[in-house]
Amino acid sequence: MFPATTLVLLLFLLATEAYSLSIFDTGKVCTFLAFSGVILKGRTPVSNATVTRTTSYQKKETDRTRTDEHGYFEMPARFERSISSLLPQEFAVGQLVTVTVNDVDYVIWDGVKRIRDENSEARGKPLIVTCDIENELRAIEVDCQPFVTKCTWDVVPDKIDKGF
């Protein structure tokens, strides 16, 4: 038989799914998956644009990169650690991505990540986007996670029942 403390610890680990992570990953959550793609303006690649990504989980975190001569950019996945992530509570991370071209800011991604998994914004696939800053913003949902975006990527959005 297991001692009571061992049994309680085992039940806690199973309940929090921490058993699938290393001890160093305890409390670690993905706030934005790795993100790459091409920035366009009217179907023309935009070089040297600044791509700014902001996440709001426990606090606001911002990072930036620049597009190359082909409009290509990439950003690594973002993670945060929090002991509260082990508690049974709703998970929600605000996500905002803007592109700055000639001192003008364009919102290309505004959403709420509601699933802790690393690639939930793309149903488990890498997030490789094409974003035209001249496009209108459009709203989509992926696994009940809402996004307003000027980007397209390899994902089938949720079917939204409009009630009519």
pLDDT digits (tens, 9 = 90+) for 72-122: 999 999 998 766 555 566 778 899 999 999 999 999 999 988 777 777 776
pLDDT of 17 strictly over 50:
no
pTM over 0.85: no
CA distance 125 to 29: 17
State the burial class of residue 6 (Cβ atoms within 10 Å of its Cβ: 0-12, 13-18, 19+). Answer: exposed
Alpha-carbon distances, residue 11 vs 98, 103, 141 (angstroms):
43, 54, 34
Tokens of 115: 């699933």
Alpha-carbon distances, residue 17 vs 12, 34, 53, 61 (angstroms):
8, 23, 29, 26
Confidence of residue 162 (pLDDT cuts 50, 70, 90): low
pLDDT digit string (tens) for 21-65? 445 556 788 898 899 999 999 999 999 999 999 999 988 999 999
What is the arithmetic mean of pLDDT over 125-137? Answer: 93
User: For the chain, which domains are there?
Assistant: 24-152 (2.60.40.10)
**What value does the mean pLDDT of the chain take?**
81
